[in-house]
Structure 1
Amino acid sequence: MNDLLSVENLSVAYGAGAPAVSSVSFTVGHGAVVALLGANGAGKSSIMKAVSGLTPATGKIRFMGEELLSSPARRRVAKGIVYVPEGREIVGDLTVRENLVLGGYQKPAAERKERMEMVLDLFPEIAEKVDRQAWRLSGGEQQMLAIGRGLVANPKLLLLDEPSLGLAPLLVRRVFDRLATIREESDLAIVLVEQNLAVTMRLCDDLHFLRGGRIVGHRGAEELKDETARQEAINAYLGAAAA
């Protein structure tokens, strides 16, 4: 099996209500970027939390050939799965540098230092403010810090949840440009949760569309370069969410 990540019949339920995710299956290859798109409440973040070990789930999650469904989150981080949650969730009272140190807490000091230098080269906006408290950064800078903190852990798979949320279009483009640079320069695989189809297509290989906790469609990014095919996908799977 050549897939880095294989998710099979994944289901997530909270309490006695309807499941948040029902029998979702998808794969992520080495160095691939796979998107999960859908409106709020479609189950995207629940899938990410299940893969990262932050919420209980049923089904199968294989990473580098190893079954991880029953493994705790810290084990998954050690294996190379890092989750950057929606809303960034940086530690505002700590400095930029201290937040980055937190990202690499499992790494030896020399490796952590090297990874931090790489991140600061990639995101010069936060490098200029490395000793500033994180709450003082702009929204775009905070998103760069959140991604950078994840990268310090030297992941094999980055789970990136709504990186464009709350950002102005110029900052969205800047963040996605940096993600494209990361992709060009490494074999990092990414699972990207988004509602913005236009920016997602710039980065992804494959797109899975979710509704009501289920995958209701799949398209390759190449297919969606055709304007007619793209509009058909929007009408069929996203509707107003893509507006």
Structure 2
Amino acid sequence: MTELLRVADLSVTYGSGAPSVNRISFTVGEGSVVALLGANGAGKSSIMKAVSGLTPSSGAVLFNGQDIGALPARARVAKGIVYVPEGREIVGELTVRENLILGGYQKAAAERKRRIDMVLDLFPEIAEKVDRQAWRLSGGEQQMLAIGRGLVADPKLLLLDEPSLGLAPLLVRRVFDRLATIREESELAIVLVEQNLAVTMRLCDELHFLRGGRIVGHRRAEDLKDEAARQQAIDAYLGAAA
């Protein structure tokens, strides 16, 4: 598998405190899904923001073999790195369609329309409400809109931060089923931040477990198909957080 992203000795520090992320390293192959799991405060979101260029960091971030550490967030989006943040951060006063248009602001009009049509086919729940203000959508529909807005940008790497947060189990399954469909139909790579191992196992190829800003364990998804192996990973790396 061709390497798409390489993160090497990445550290993130806010102010004069201890590092939120302390010299972590991992890789993501083209078309693969890599999960970062850990409790609140483990550094997961800081890693995503550093990779997307939204927060300063030290260490190396290489994308398609190019060091992008000095590039601003906008330039990273143009290269194909798109971040869907925790909490969705859609623009509630805009319609569903207008939010999707924002996602494709760097695209030519014809390509943007094609991508929006693709997203609406993928998420019929929001297609039925395309002219409705986004704040009127349910939580699950808002998450679909946030992911769809990211997809309109035609990413090579999608950074998904806690997509299951605040959703009922049925909606979580629906969102992750659509993500699985995206995987089957494209070469899109995904870095997935989650706290829930069971949810994560539906989609990912590899899992990195974080604690205190460090990677404390790594497993391949195929190694965790057995229930006893999953429980061992939970006990070793996640504890009560799982």
Aligned counterparts, 1:160-179, within 5 A: 160-179=160-179
Deviation string for 1:20-74 (max 9, x for gaps)? 0000000000000000000000000000000000000000000011101111001
1:163 CA displacement:
0.2
Query: Alignment RMSD, CA only?
Result: 0.7
C-alpha distance in 1 between matches for 2:212 and 2:237: 11
TM-score (norm 2): 0.99
Question: Counterparts of 1:181 and 1:100 in 2: how far apart (Å)?
Answer: 19
User: How far 1:208 sits from its partner (Å)?
Assistant: 0.1
The aligned counterpart of 1:13 is 13
Matched, 1:72 2:72: yes
Q: Residues 137-167 of structure 1, C-alpha deviation per residue, up to 9 Å, x if partnerless?
A: 0000000000000000000000000000000
Aligned counterparts of 1:100 and 1:230: Cα–Cα separation in 2 = 37
Using the TM superposition, give the Cα deviation of residue 83 of structure 1 relative to its aligned residue in structure 2, in angstroms.
Answer: 0.1
Residues 60-109 of structure 1: per-residue CA shift (max 9 Å, x gap): 00001110111100110000000000000000000000000000000000
Measured against aligned partners, the alpha-carbon deviations of 1:195-219 in whole angstroms (never above 9, x if no partner) come to 0100101100000000000000000
User: 1:151 is matched with which residue?
Assistant: 151
Q: For 1:79 and 1:28, locate their aligned partners in 2 and report how far apart those are by CA, in whole Å.
A: 16
User: Which residue is 2:45 aligned to?
Assistant: 45
Q: Provide the C-alpha distance between the structure 2 equivalents of 1:169 and 1:230, rounded to a whole number of angstroms.
A: 20
* Matched residue, 1:138: 138
Distance 1:144 1:18 in 2: 35
- 1:227, distance to aligned residue in structure 2 (A): 1.2
Give 1:2 deviation, angstroms: 2.8
- C-alpha distance in 1, partners of 2:126/2:133? 11
Q: Sequence identity, in percent? A: 83
- Aligned pairs for 1:78-117 (under 5 A) are 78-117=78-117
User: What stretches of structure 2 of length at least 5 have no aligned partner?
Assistant: none
Given the two structures, how large is their TM-score scaled by the length of structure 1?
A: 0.99
**Aligned equivalent of 2:230:** 230
Letter in 1 for 2:146: A
Whole-angstrom distance in 2 between the partners of 1:196 and 1:155: 25
Counterpart in 1 of 2:215? 215
- Structure 1 runs (4+) greater than 2 angstroms displaced: none
SS of equivalent residue, structure 2 residue 26: strand
